[in-house]
Structure 1
Amino acid sequence: MTRATEAAAFFGITTTIYLALLFQWLPITLPETVQNFTLPVLPWWALVTFGAYSLGNIGYHVLTFRDCPEAYDELQVQIGEAQRDLRSKGMNIK
């Protein structure tokens, strides 16, 4: 199964269970506070939690971004080659 299929299956099952609990289609008795106050805001809570996790994950990976000295050296060589090529074609490069 691909990741997209797994994600679609997970969200489909989760949505089905959520709607069944919200509209009381399952014969499960939930406390009134859960039914009236928690379930209606659960999708927003999940969205905010996912956003916070995503921002934290991006921030952590930006903070621990590894430098690549080999890539820097390779890029400098390629820039030099491009400058020599353009100069040979008559372009003035500072």
Structure 2
Amino acid sequence: MTKATETVAALGIFFIIYFIFLFGVVPLPDVLQEEIIPVLPWWLLVTFGTYSLGTVGYNVFKFRDCEDAYHELMAEIQLAKDDLRSKGITVVD
């Protein structure tokens, strides 16, 4: 089973269970049925957004400059330009 199939299957099961609880097929206490279940998707969306922003913020905070990678990339670009020039292609610097 591919990762996409697993994800679709998991989301399908989640939505089926959610709609069963939302429409009252399985009886729940009134507080759960009327106040928590209807806002559960928004709560999950806000939680996911918070996690995503926190992860991006943490990674930006911990980001370090990579001088060696920069110089290596510039050398590879120059090598590619030289190769193209040797084949008669005009390359603008």
Identify the structure with bigger relative contact order (alpha carbons < 8 Å, sequence gap 6+): 1
For the pair 1:34 / 2:47, whether they are aligned, the reply is no
What's the counterpart of residue 65 of structure 1?
63
**Unaligned 5+ residue runs, structure 1?**
none
TM-score (norm 1): 0.72
* Among 43, 47, 50, the residue aligned to 2:48: 50
Distance 1:30 1:69 in 2: 59
Cα displacement (A) at 1:73 = 1.2
Cα displacement (A) at 1:92 = 9.2
Encode CA deviations 1:40-64: one digit per residue, 9 max, x unaligned.
Answer: 1111111111111111111112222
Encode CA deviations 1:2-34: one digit per residue, 9 max, x unaligned.
Answer: 3222221111111100000111123xx311111
**Unaligned 5+ residue runs, structure 2?**
none
Distance 1:8 1:92 in 2: 48
Identity score, percent: 49
